[in-house]
Amino acid sequence: MDSNKEIINDDIVFEIELVRQIEVNIDYILMLVAKYQESNCKDKEILTTINKAIQSSIELRSKKELIERFIEQVNASTEIDEEWRSFLHERKEEDLASIIEEEKLKPEETKRFIDNALRDGVLKTTGTAFDKIMPPVSRFGGARAKKKQSIITKLMDFFEKYFGLL
């Protein structure tokens, strides 16, 4: 009886080690998406595996919505790698345009600021580069600080969503 428990326990330990060894990154997710496509987009178990993989990766959690939207448009003729890249660029442009419009940011300066942040791997919210993207806001009554915080929050979410993918 005890030997069965030991075998099961060893199996569980092995499974956990195996999961740890698989680096869950976007390449792994895209490989799973390709498997899903090969199943003619019918194997729901693969979708469950993708979801679990995303949840297990801190880096991928902020990208969950992007990945799910991409999977929704996958069909038999989808070129996974190429279409993933073009999908990302389109979504990035749309999301950034939306933030620029909502916050009345300066478009060219904001695009340059974000491109630099994605390239450098850090979103610098202090200094002159950030001030250059902000719309004119009164410095009195705390309106500027409130506006700046709103912009920082939206750009941080945007940065986390796209960093490491482009």
Convert the pLDDT of each residue in 44-60 to its tens digit: 999 999 999 898 888 89
Distance CA 131, CA 125 (A): 9
User: Whats the size of the chain, residue-wise?
Assistant: 166
What is the per-residue burial (b if ≥16 Cβ within 10 Å, else e) of 139-165?
eeeeeeeebbeebeebbeebbebbbeb
List of residues 6+ apart from 56 with CB closer than 8 A: 19, 24
- Residue bearing tokens 């806001």: 137
Query: What's the pLDDT tens digit per position in 97-149?
Result: 999 999 999 999 999 999 999 999 999 998 888 989 999 887 777 888 889 99
Q: Residue 153 and residue 6: Cα distance in Å, rounded?
A: 50
Where are the domains positioned within the chain?
A: 1-78, 81-166
Across all residues in the chain, what is the average pLDDT? 88
- pTM exceeds cut of 0.85: no
Q: What is the number of other CB atoms lying within 10 angstroms of the CB of residue 25?
A: 13
